[in-house]
Structure 1
Amino acid sequence: MSIPTSTSVSESAVIEANQSDVWHLIKLQEFDKFWSKLDKSEWVKGTSSETDVVKWAFKDGTVLEVKQEEHSTIDHFITYSVISSQPALSYTSVVSTIRTYPVTSGKNAGHTYVTWTGNFSSDADAGVIEDAKFKRREALADLAKSAQK
């Protein structure tokens, strides 16, 4: 019997770097520059110029092709979906968004608040959601390390 679960995840962090330093790192084709779980990140050859598809090769052997769905340099967010996976995913789809916000007052002024959400198809189970939560936390910690250099 499956455990009923939310099919969304949202993780966040305050990164001790200004927004421009953090935002500069958030390019799908360059996630391997900060995310320690990634071995390689590169544009997928043969995709049309209107389609931004990037292949992420993880150190554990998983390979994802992710499609940039939306990108705003004004509102500082990127949305992407997974369009293929080797090995195959146990769920149908996921759409993720990373947003950055400048912290403008208080003790964290000059730092950046970052959120990384994922909205999964209804066939994602509790294990998928928990895994996504921890991967986002690890990736945000890696992003913080890179932005603070």
Structure 2
Amino acid sequence: MSSAIATTNEVIESAVIRAPLSHVWHFIKLAEFAKFWTAIEKAEHVKGVSDETDVVRWTFKDGSVIEVKQDEHSNLDHFITYSVITSKPELSYSSVVSTIRCWPVTSGELEDSTFIRWTAKFSSDADIGVIEDAKYKRRDALKDLAAAAGKMVKEHQK
């Protein structure tokens, strides 16, 4: 009998950000993540990749570096899907595909806010530690995004 803990291989984190969709969506481009996610030191396009593939290198403040490939992006439906293609240090699992999707909140007490959902689907070899780490990293990033979008709202109100 295995001592491994059974887990889902998907993370779903969501938040309501008190900023209009246009202010939130402004940050949801792979090369712009360093402008809101405080864990990232820099984000830069990887040169020498085909013109049809958008690859960005995220260098994190802890020294880790990952390259992410944009798989889909829609300015109409406000979502981006990306996958990790390289990592230093090496990942302990085979693959992960993430999607960030935004919707405007159009009525109620949170009108003119943005509902955002950030998912990650991991390969079956990802363990519970990977899943939990991804959950908390996304929660932190969503807090950072809310702060950055809120700052943008204040600047526009001046």
TM-superposition CA deviations, 1:94-132 (whole Å, max 9, x none): 000000000011111110000000000000000000000
Name the SS of the counterpart of 1:148 in structure 2. helix
Q: 2:36 — aligned with what? A: 34
Count of residues in correspondence between the two structures? 149
Distance (whole Å) between structure 1 residues aligned to residue 8 and residue 41 of structure 2: 30
Name the SS of the counterpart of 1:35 in structure 2. coil
Q: Which runs of 4+ in 1 moved over 2 A?
A: none
Distance (whole Å) between structure 2 residues aligned to residue 91 and residue 31 of structure 1: 23
Aligned-pair RMSD on alpha carbons? 0.5
Identify the match of residue 103 of structure 1 among 94, 102, 105: 105
Identify the match of residue 115 of structure 1 among 108, 114, 117: 117
Identify the match of residue 132 of structure 1 among 134, 137, 141: 134
Distance apart, 1:2 and its partner CA: 1.3
Q: 1:148 — aligned with what? A: 150
Name the SS of the counterpart of 1:80 in structure 2. strand
Identity among equivalent pairs (%): 65
Q: 1:74 — aligned with what? A: 76
Mapping of residues 48-67 of structure 1, within 5 Å? 48-67=50-69
Distance apart, 1:50 and its partner CA: 0.3
Distance apart, 1:45 and its partner CA: 1.0
TM-superposition CA deviations, 1:52-106 (whole Å, max 9, x none): 0000000001100000000000000000000000000000000000000000111
Distance apart, 1:30 and its partner CA: 1.2
Unaligned residue ranges in structure 1 (runs of 5+) = none
Compute the TM-score of the two structures, normalised by the length of structure 2: 0.93
